[in-house]
Structure 1
Amino acid sequence: MEVFHGPSTYEREPSRHPALKINSKEPFNAEPPVDELVRSYVTSVDMFYKRNHGPVPVLEDISLYRLEVGGLASNRCSLSMDAIKQLPKHTVVATIQCAGNRRTAMSMTRKVKGVGWGLAALGNGIWSGARLSDVLEIVGIPKYSRVSAYGGKHVEFVSVDKCKEENGGPYKGSIPLFQATNPEADVILAYEMNGEELSRDHGFPLRVVVPGVLGARSVKWLRNINIIAEECQGFFMQKDYKMFPPSVDWDNVNWGSRRPLMDFPVQCAICSPEDGSYLDGKGKVTVKGYALSGGGRGIERVDVSADGGKTWTEAKLAQGPKSGLGYIPDDDDHRDKWAWVLWEASIEVHLPADIVAKAVDTSANVQAEHVETIWNLRGVLNNSWHRIHINGTSKQLHSNL
């Protein structure tokens, strides 16, 4: 029996929280109710979205686990979990977001292919593990390297799971070598999530966490790290998770014409009240949501409108927890670098109303106003203004006649 393997059936799946909205059962893909996202700055393990491409891998004996590191490096190494945990432990607060978050809304404009994610294909976690740059030094690659001694320019992560898209092979992805060897990029090999051992759904026993980059590059169930000359040639780097203009469809797509997606764009969404809600009367309504941006760019502000975008109110950005969770870094600036912000705004509404939210990041990037302008055949990176419609009760509607 293999010590660590990707099963071909779904008979040994982990248990999941019953409140999750299941978008596909096999492989299991699910997201929490949207209002759960704004209950806590740190998303619980149970309520963190689940993204799988096959059955969840099984590790029979952690004492026999080995991470193989090699490729175009001066040395090779095989690391046990004990050896990895002997390296300096680093903790980073980072939001992981699926590239397909908010895909359903994009599909309403024109049909796209992919899991039908709503607003909750993301979560904010506290990740702890060894810096990738420390591990790469073991195989002879110094920090801040752009190329290895043998011509390596990228770092490939190989999982143990079995994906139909890879013809039953493992999930793979890569990042540039400079990002991998730069300690300030905070790329880690995580073995803890929210202060506890990784769960199976989230990559036990070891996963990559690449902050500020779409979740497809934070490979779970890690088995190999390879230093390679070019980008990973796997399916999810070369024939998926790429951005095409609205004019490209499945009849004329040329996958080689676009680069793999990395940093996610500025994003925000309204989590409360929910679209289609019924509220009594008129007056103040408290609107809550999340906002984030990729590449280490924080959120400068969130604007909320109660009249479909004619006038705007600036939302209050909530801070992360100040106490009670000692494993969260004390440096607020560092914490916000890779993490979302939760926000809320008290706005005057006259029902029925169309409420809109948009975010601006610290580089002055702003969300696209209309989803039609960013439509793409895979339905990725929908960061258009988020719009919800709020209804009045029947009594309120009657009074408006």
Structure 2
Amino acid sequence: MKSSDVPPEGIDVTLSMDDLRRRFAQHTVTCALQCAGNRRHEVRSRVKEVTGVDWGDGAVMNAAWTGPLLRDILIDQGLNVKSDLKYHDGLHVQMECNATKVQDDEWYGSSVPLGMVMDPEREVVLALDMNGSPLPARHGAPVRAIIPGVIGARSVKWLDTIVISAQESQNHYQQHDYKVLPPEATSPEKAEDLGVWDKTPAMQDNPINSVVALPSHDGDELRRDGNGRVRIAGYAIPQGKGGPVERVQVSIDRGETWKDATVLDDGDENTTHPANKGKERGKFSWVLWEVEIEIDTTTATTTTTTKATNDTIDIWSKATDRAGNTMDEENPKGNWNLRGVGYNAVQGRINIKIV
């Protein structure tokens, strides 16, 4: 860990794994990690072609991560703590894995604003354990950064170097990937010609999102039970530190009516709960949800029953978190960008057959 840009004397220190485990209090945060390109296949197939791995909607995980708070480590190294986080404006925490060459650079690197790391509400940890066991190699052992509420690309695996700097990481994956480019950047060549890579900020916070997981594919069948109802289920994640997700709504008539889904998980033992408020979902975690909706394929719509058109339906879902962030039902197919990142359309599954 090093810096020449942080007053008063800079930082230049090497910490061992034993230091990370024994010198600092261990903190557990439960959070969802989501690839910025989650749901990219939907953009490609429903809106317009994009570049990047053809992720469906499963490029996400939820786990409990344990290790020292990076904030505590920086304070230990003499970084000033200010109640006004703007004190840290203009400074960045660069994180690196120099172990091997990667596809588009000599090493993998990323960065987040220093103010984010120093914000006690963010709970940024250097993870040594995952779900109560030592961190597996495939998830970044021996140590990885965990930046709750932020796209997965910033939570650097196999972390070996941290630099506090007056500039962002200059790595390819910070400067030329994981950015929501403007719509006029219609091709890689056009993006370069317009110079938008340098003008567009690197993604940080996850957008709020809800995904229909059952049915799992467009065109699937949903079978009604004896009461004419179908079961629909999925997951939702909050935006940034705005969580937890408090409400999920589902529509099968393209937004004309919405029904509240039941949020299934009521918290986890790793969540720190405010005094006297009992158990609640972690602010960075996903929630799982389900809803049963009665469908009549023979009669007109009533107040309690939705009629299926030609025995097929489209399923939309939208989430709302504690901070009030929600999804745009006026733009059901979502916004297109060249890399297909940050996609959070309410349109979930289409052409679902009712049997």
TM-score normalised per structure 1: 0.74
Cross-structure match for 1:163:
102
Give, in angstroms, the shift of residue 85 of structure 1: 0.3
Stretch moving more, 305-314 or 332-341? 332-341
Residue type matched to 1:218 in 2?
Answer: S
Measured in 2, the distance between the counterparts of 1:267 and 1:287 equals 16
1:208 is paired with a residue whose SS is strand
| Cα distance in 2 between the residues matched to 1:71 and 1:335 | 40
**SS of corresponding position for 2:121:** helix
Contact 1:70 1:139 in 2 (8 A): no
- For residues 308 and 171 of structure 1, the distance between their equivalents in structure 2, rounded to whole angstroms, comes to 42
Partner of 1:222, secondary structure, is: coil
Q: Is contact 1:147–1:177 with CA below 8 Å preserved after alignment? A: no
Amino acid at match of 1:376: N
- Tell me the distance in 1 between the aligned counterparts of 2:280 and 2:224: 42
- Check whether the contact 2:31–2:64 (CA below 8 A) recurs between aligned residues: yes
* Partner residue, 1:355: 315
Closer, same or farther in 2 for the Cα pair 1:146/1:226, shift >3 Å? Answer: farther
Task: Name the CA shift for 1:71/1:194 in 2 (closer, same or farther; >3 Å).
Answer: farther
Separation (CA, whole Å) in 2 of partners of 1:75 and 1:280: 62
Q: Are 2:171 and 1:234 aligned? A: yes
**Map of 1:41-190 to 2, 5 A cutoff?**
68-73=1-6, 74-86=10-22, 87-108=24-45, 109-144=47-82, 153-160=91-98, 161-166=100-105, 169-190=106-127
Q: Evaluate the alpha carbon distance shift between residue 373 and residue 306 of structure 1 in structure 2; reply closer, same or farther with a 3 A threshold.
A: closer
Whichever residue aligns with residue 386 of structure 1, its letter is: Q
**Shift of residue 71 of structure 1?**
4.3
Cα gap change, 1:279 to 1:137, in 2 (>3 Å): closer
2:222 is aligned, of 269, 279, 282, to: 279
SS of the aligned residue for 2:104 comes to helix
Q: Secondary structure at the match of 1:134?
A: helix
Asked if the contact 1:143/1:182 (under 8 Å) is kept, the reply is no
More deviation, 74-83/207-216: 74-83
What are the residue-to-residue correspondences of 1:239-258 with 2, within 5 Å? 239-250=176-187, 251-253=189-191, 254-258=196-200
Pairs within 5 Å for 1:324-339:
327=270, 329=272, 335-339=281-285
**Contact 1:368–1:374, Cα closer than 8 Å, also in 2:** no
Answer with 359-368 or 335-344: which moved more: 359-368
Contact 2:30 2:270 in 1 (8 A): no
Counterparts of 1:292 and 1:339 in 2: how far apart (Å)? Answer: 6
Aligned sequence identity (%): 37
CA contact (8 A) 2:150 2:204 kept: yes
Shift, 1:328, TM fit: 5.2
Query: Are 2:237 and 1:292 aligned?
Result: yes
**What CA distance in whole angstroms lies between the structure 2 residues aligned with 1:334 and 1:147?**
32
* Amino acid of the structure 2 residue aligned with 1:381: G
CA RMSD of aligned residues (A): 2.2
Distance 1:315 1:281 in 2: 17
User: How much has 1:262 moved relative to structure 2?
Assistant: 0.5
Aligned to 1:375: 336
Give secondary structure in 1 for the equivalent of 2:173: helix
Write the deviation string for residues 206-253 of structure 1: whole angstroms up to 9, x where unpaired: 000000111111111000000101111111111111112322222332
Partner in structure 1 of residue 148 of structure 2: 211
Q: Which one-letter code corresponds to 1:344 in the other structure?
A: E
What SS class does the counterpart of residue 155 from structure 1 fall into?
A: strand
**Residue 371 of structure 1: CA displacement?**
6.1
Could you tell me how far apart the structure 2 residues matched to 1:241 and 1:107 are? 16
State the alpha-carbon separation in 2 of the partners of residues 71 and 180 from structure 1. 18
CA contact (8 A) 1:143 1:183 kept: no
Greater Cα shift, 70-79 or 330-339: 330-339
Residues 1:384 and 2:330 aligned together: no
| C-alpha distance in structure 2 between counterparts of 1:386 and 1:197, whole Å | 39
Conserved? CA contact 2:333–2:347, under 8 Å: no
Q: In the alignment, is the contact (CA less than 8 A) between 2:178 and 2:341 conserved in 1?
A: yes
Task: Give me the TM-score of the superposition, normalised by structure 2.
Answer: 0.83
In the alignment, structure 1 segments of 5+ residues that lack a partner are 1-67, 394-401
* Structure 2 residue ranges without an equivalent (≥5): 298-310
The 1:114–1:233 alpha-carbon spacing in structure 2 relative to 1, beyond 3 Å, is same
